[in-house]
Amino acid sequence: MQVSPKIFYEHCYGRYAIPAVNVFTMEQVLGLFSSGEKANAPFIVQITPAARNYAGPEMLIAMIKAAAKIFPKAVYAVHMDHGNEEHAFDAILSNDYQSVMIDASHDSFKDNVKRTKAVVEEAHKKNIVVEAELGVLSGVEDDLSIDEKYAKYTQPSEVQEFVELTGCDSLAVAVGTSHGAYKFSGGDGIQFSILEEIQNRLPQFPIVLHGGSAVNLEEIERINKAGGQLNEGASGVSPEEIVKSIAYGVCKINIATDTRLLWTRVHREFFRDTPELFDPVIPGKTYVAEYEKFMLQKFDLLGATGKV
């Protein structure tokens, strides 16, 4: 069943968080839906512009619709992640999304407000909710690389005005996380003092945490033992930080990197351990199973298990 993230957020605020996971492949869609149904947990399926370029928007939506039939008890929302106006308006017109993100966070405050407001006006005509972003995450967002030194935390003094002017339904904030497997290379984890100030100025307003992957060191080691060459300085958001952020109004935790690391580990081990095989179904099945296991643990950590 498709549910608006607005309803998810009203229910979870301050108590638990909804994982929002980026999907690119059929195995990921299967693993996500089967885990959500098994855990009786709400989740958000995210589609990025990169995923649309890879699989095609029609393919992604068709896979999601098929998964919803295979797992009829799954309770989920479909979200356009890191869109510009073109992606957002296309998503709104398609009627396939309950939620869109307009990411104008690299623009000036004024332009961010203007661009976000235009998307909100269209989206709200169809009861589609809008996630906006204020502040700039360091690291890599799709093909865009921003130097660590240009990273800008969200300014708490701006959040109230931004939300009032734009009418957005949730706010992605830059409070120390970044995308990818090398978070916190120069920083000190999540800045809870900033999150607290944001919450004081936006009480009960849903906050989104991008860059929510844990980057489990054990996965990195397994990948490297199977021929990978990932830098062991890789690091992510700790389980303690994730759990702590929920009390500060974080309702949606974005995850992509962890599922890519899992894919890499499963496939590298398959090639290393069974060099005589050449069947994509075999590692594919392992990946779906490992993905499901990963998500079941994530639902537990976020407190989302049993919430539907």
Taking the C-alpha atoms of residue 265 and residue 194, their distance in angstroms, rounded to an integer, is 35
Query: Residue 253: in which H helix or E strand, if any?
Result: strand 250-255
Supply the DSSP string of 94-162, one letter for each residue: HT--SEEEE--TTS-HHHHHHHHHHHHHHHHHTT-EEEEEESB-EEEETTEEE-GGG-B---HHHHHHH
Interface residue with Na ion among 81, 241, 258, 292 (CB under 5 A) is 81
- Judged by CB under 6 A, the chain residues 193 through 212 that form the site for ligand 13P are 210-212
Interface residue with ligand 13P among 79, 87, 179, 298 (CB under 6 A) is 179
What x/- string results for residues 1 through 40 when contact with ligand 13P is judged by CB under 6 A? ---------------------x------------------
170 touching ligand 13P, by CB under 6 A: no
Q: Which among ligand G3H, Zn ion, Na ion, none contacts residue 101 (Cβ within 5 to 8 A by kind)? A: Na ion
256 touching ligand G3H, by CB under 6 A: yes
Q: What are 278-285's contacts with CB under 8 Å, separation 24+?
A: 284/27
Q: Minimum Å distance from CB 5 to ligand G3H?
A: 16
Catalytic residues: 81
3-class secondary structure, 250: strand
- Judged by CB under 6 A, the chain residues 38 through 97 that form the site for ligand G3H are 48, 50, 81-82
Q: What are the distances in angstroms from CA 11 to CA 196, 205, 212, 296?
A: 20, 12, 21, 20
Q: Minimum Å distance from CB 273 to ligand 13P?
A: 27
Closest CA to 21 of 41, 2, 47, 42: 47
What x/- string results for residues 96 through 135 when contact with ligand G3H is judged by CB under 6 A? ----------------------------------------
Q: Which is nearer to Zn ion, 210 or 268 (CB)?
A: 210
Taking the C-alpha atoms of residue 285 and residue 241, their distance in angstroms, rounded to an integer, is 32
Nearest-5° angle of CA 242, CA 248, CA 251? 65
Q: Minimum Å distance from CB 161 to Na ion?
A: 21
Contacts of 125 (CB under 8 A, 6+ apart): none
- CA 173 to chain CA centroid, nearest Å: 13
Supply the DSSP string of 15-55, one letter for each residue: T--EEEEE--SHHHHHHHHHHHHHHT--EEEEE-HHHHHHH
Interface residue with ligand 13P among 27, 37, 81, 96 (CB under 6 A) is 81
176 touching ligand 13P, by CB under 6 A: no
Query: Residue 178: in which H helix or E strand, if any?
Result: strand 178-179
Interface residue with ligand 13P among 47, 194, 234, 256 (CB under 6 A) is 256
Q: Minimum Å distance from CB 164 to ligand 13P?
A: 25
- Judged by CB under 5 A, the chain residues 84 through 123 that form the site for Na ion are 101
Taking the C-alpha atoms of residue 204 and residue 20, their distance in angstroms, rounded to an integer, is 20
254 touching ligand 13P, by CB under 6 A: yes
Closest CA to 12 of 53, 42, 44: 42
Segment lying near Na ion (by CB under 5 A), choices 81-89, 235-243, 282-290, 292-300 = 81-89
Enumerate binding residues for ligand 13P (CB under 6 A): 22, 81-82, 179-180, 210-213, 254-258
Enumerate binding residues for ligand G3H (CB under 6 A): 22, 48, 50, 81-82, 140-142, 179-180, 256-257
Enumerate binding residues for Na ion (CB under 5 A): 81, 101
Enumerate binding residues for Zn ion (CB under 5 A): 210, 254
